[in-house]
Amino acid sequence: MTNLEPLHAYFTDVLQLHPSAYLDRFFKSFFALYMPLDVLARVWDIFVFEGDKILLCTAVAVLLHFEMRLYETQDEVLRTLTMGPWDLGKVDVFIKRIADIREK
C-alpha cells in the first residue's frame, strides 16, 4: 500500500523534480497551509505525542492520497501539492492511512 517507487521514479527520472520543491513547504508550515483544520488538529496531536516522525508519515500519506493525480507535468504536480487547501477526504480515513504508514 505504501509503495511509491513508481511515483518516485516518475518524479526523479521524468520530471527531475527534487523533493525539496514540495516537502520544504509542507514541513515549514507543519502542513497548516494545506490541510483542513480538523485533519491538521489530529496530525498535530499525534506530533505532540510521537514527535517528528509523524511529519514524514503525513507527507507519505499525502503523496499516496494524491498519487493518481501526480503523473502529470511538473507544474501540475506542484500545483496539486502546494496549492491549498487539500481535499483529503474523511478525517478518520486519512488518519488511518498515516497510522498504517507509521506501523511499517
Instruction: List the CATH number of the domain containing 90.
Output: 1.10.472.80
Counted domains in the chain: 1
SS (HEC) of the chain? CCCCHHHHHHHHHHCCCCCHHHHHHHHHCCCCCCCCHHHHHHHHHHHHHHCCHHHHHHHHHHHHHHHHHCCCCHHHHHHHHHCCCCCCCCHHHHHHHHHHHHHC
Identify the domain containing residue 13 by its residue range: 5-103
Q: Which amino acid is at 71?
A: Y
pLDDT in tens, 31-79: 999 999 999 999 999 999 999 999 999 999 999 999 999 999 999 999 9
Q: What is the pTM of this model?
A: 0.92
pLDDT in tens, 81-96: 998 899 999 999 999 9
